[in-house]
């Protein structure tokens, strides 16, 4: 199915960002269309995480613009960007280790809560009704991710693969329009990778979440992505369908190699 119909959901236009003399991104442009899964690949140091950090407002580019549903994100604070409907996970697990799975996922609802700190503290009236509504959303996410059995377990006690699933749950609890996944399968065994790949596909198809992911497992990238963007030392060197990327001579030379295509 062609998912590139209509205007793009996100436009990245000529983004430059440097750290001292290191050019992390050198005029990178790309589009993400509603309903697609876009993979961003490249060797270590290619600028993939820097690109995600620019999109969600962690870094401000020296040059260029980013538009999300025609709103300019370029100098917007990251919490305002999140409120527009962009959520992310991190390359390294960033959970509150002493909090339960349920409470960690509940954090994903914070931007949608309207009661003030005082009302939340006394837990009465509107604040109580609001928390009940948000908790219902969180419980649905927990059921959807098949982690009911660990919902009251402190996150720090879980094996790594389940921690990554909880982090995905926290991002999904925000009900994002666009979900940015930074190496969601790093450090996982084959079975854990298959589980996360299934949840990513289901989030895209069932929850209608547009997804951009950074991933090094080329088998996963080629299996689940609609399009692939390839970065190398801050430059975009390739873009296309998985089939087109497999046959892109520049990408093969810089990153994939012939062994990765077998």
Reduced 3-state DSSP string for 220-253 = HHHHHCCEEEEEECCEEEEEECHHHHHCCHHHHH
φ and ψ at residue 72, rounded to 5 degrees: -80, 115
| Domains in the chain: ranges and CATH | 1-85+176-262 (3.40.50.300), 99-175 (no CATH)
Q: What residues have CB less than 8 Å from 116, skipping those under 6 apart?
A: none
pLDDT of 146: 95
**In angstroms, rounded to a whole number, what is the distance separating the alpha carbons of residues 121 and 252?**
56
According to the model, what pLDDT value does residue 5 have?
60
Q: In this predicted model, what pLDDT tens digit does every residue of 63-101 receive, in sequence order?
A: 999 999 999 999 899 899 999 999 999 888 889 999 999
The position carrying tokens 């996410």 is: 141
The DSSP code for 187 is T
Q: Mean pLDDT per 10-residue run, the chain (262 residues)?
A: 72 96 95 97 93 95 96 92 94 91 92 55 56 88 96 95 95 96 92 95 96 94 96 95 93 70 44
90 phi, psi to nearest 5 deg: -120, 155
106-133 pLDDT, tens digit each: 999 887 666 444 444 545 455 566 778 8
What's this model's pTM, rounded to 2 decimal places? 0.88
Note the pLDDT of residue 238. Answer: 95
pLDDT at 65: 96
Q: Contact at 8 Å (CB) between 41 and 255?
A: yes
φ and ψ of 176, to 5 deg: -75, 155
Average pLDDT, the chain: 89
pLDDT of 132 reads 81
Q: What is the pLDDT of residue 57?
A: 94
Is the separation of the CB atoms in 89 and 168 below 8 Å? Answer: yes
Main-chain phi, psi angles of 130, to 5 degrees = -65, -45
């Amino acid at each position: 199915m062609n998912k590139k119909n209509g205007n793009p959901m996100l436009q990245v236009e000529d983004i430059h960002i440097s750290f001292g003399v290191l050019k992390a991104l050198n005029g990178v442009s790309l589009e993400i269309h509603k309903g697609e899964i876009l993979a961003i690949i490249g060797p270590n140091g290619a600028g993939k995480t820097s690109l995600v950090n620019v999109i969600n407002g962690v870094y401000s580019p020296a040059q260029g613009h980013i538009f999300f549903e025609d709103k300019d994100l370029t100098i917007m604070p990251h919490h305002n960007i999140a409120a527009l409907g962009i959520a992310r996970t991190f390359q390294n697990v960033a959970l509150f280790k002493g909090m339960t799975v349920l409470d960690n996922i509940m954090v994903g609802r914070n931007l949608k809560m309207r009661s003030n700190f005082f009302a939340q503290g006394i837990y009465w009236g509107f604040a109580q009704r609001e928390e009940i509504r948000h908790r219902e959303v969180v419980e649905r996410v927990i059921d959807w991710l098949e982690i009911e059995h660990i919902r009251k377990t402190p996150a720090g006690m879980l094996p790594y693969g389940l921690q990554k699933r909880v982090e995905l749950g926290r991002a999904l609890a925000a009900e994002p329009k666009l979900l940015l996944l930074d190496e969601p399968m790093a450090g996982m065994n084959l079975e854990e990778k298959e589980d996360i790949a299934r949840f990513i596909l289901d989030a895209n198809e069932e929850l209608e979440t547009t997804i951009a992911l950074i991933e090094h497992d080329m088998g996963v990238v080629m299996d689940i992505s609609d399009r692939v963007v390839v970065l190398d030392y801050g430059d975009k060197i390739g873009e296309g369908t998985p089939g087109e990327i497999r046959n892109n001579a520049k990408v093969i030379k810089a990153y994939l190699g012939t062994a990765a295509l077998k």
